[in-house]
């Protein structure tokens, strides 16, 4: 049982610590801003200049933990946009990969002079990779 708990703890630590991000410049960066100055858009504003295409991904232990993973990816991309001087982050795509299952089990067998005892315990969890894409933009007129 201790072995299973230890393996699950290692798997959770590994899965929750895996995050990546990238950026591809498509325009001219500006003076850096604070992340709190970057407005998040789900639809394109009327007038803007694109600065970069951003992406981020995280591994989540289950699809139920997806909202938190999405929030963290948005915050990561918001910080990237701020460093490029973008005052807007235009969200474009969110996706999940197929889950990868990690499992383990332990079994013990004991013999006595008139009996045999078997005990087994197993556990598993799924890891889902979530990905997000957005554009770092500079909104030239906000209505």
pTM confidence score:
0.67
Query: How many other β-carbons are positioned within 10 Å of the β-carbon of residue 81?
Result: 30
Say if residue 3's pLDDT is above 50. no
Give me the pLDDT at residue 65, please.
61
Give percent above pLDDT 70 in the chain: 72
Query: How far apart are alpha carbons 92 and 45 in whole angstroms?
Result: 13
Q: For residue 84, which of 53, 38, 56, 51 has the smallest C-alpha distance?
A: 51
**Tens-digit pLDDT profile for residues 20-30:** 889 999 999 99
Question: pLDDT tens for residues 65-115?
Answer: 667 888 999 999 999 999 999 999 999 988 877 666 666 767 777 777 777
- The more confidently predicted of residues 27 and 6 is 27
Higher pLDDT among residues 49 and 8, named by residue: 49
pLDDT score at 89: 97
Q: How many residues does the chain have?
A: 143
99 touches 128 (CB < 8 A): yes
One-character DSSP codes across 16-76? HT-EEEEEEE-S---S---GGGPEEESS--SEEEEEEEEEEEEEESSGGGHHHHHHHHHHH
């Amino acid at each position: 049982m201790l072995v299973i708990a230890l393996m699950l703890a290692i798997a959770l630590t590994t899965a929750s610590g895996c995050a990546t991000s990238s950026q591809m410049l498509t325009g001219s960066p500006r003076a850096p801003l604070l992340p709190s100055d970057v407005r998040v858009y789900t639809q394109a504003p009327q007038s803007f200049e694109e600065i970069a295409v951003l992406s981020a991904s995280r591994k989540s232990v289950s699809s139920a933990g997806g909202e938190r993973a999405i929030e963290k990816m948005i915050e990561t991309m918001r910080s990237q946009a701020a460093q490029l001087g973008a005052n807007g982050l235009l969200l474009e795509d969110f996706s999940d990969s197929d889950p990868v299952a990690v499992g383990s089990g332990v079994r013990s067998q004991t013999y006595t002079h008139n009996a045999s005892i078997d005990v087994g315990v197993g556990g598993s969890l799924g890891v889902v990779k979530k990905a997000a894409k957005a554009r770092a933009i500079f909104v030239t007129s906000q209505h």
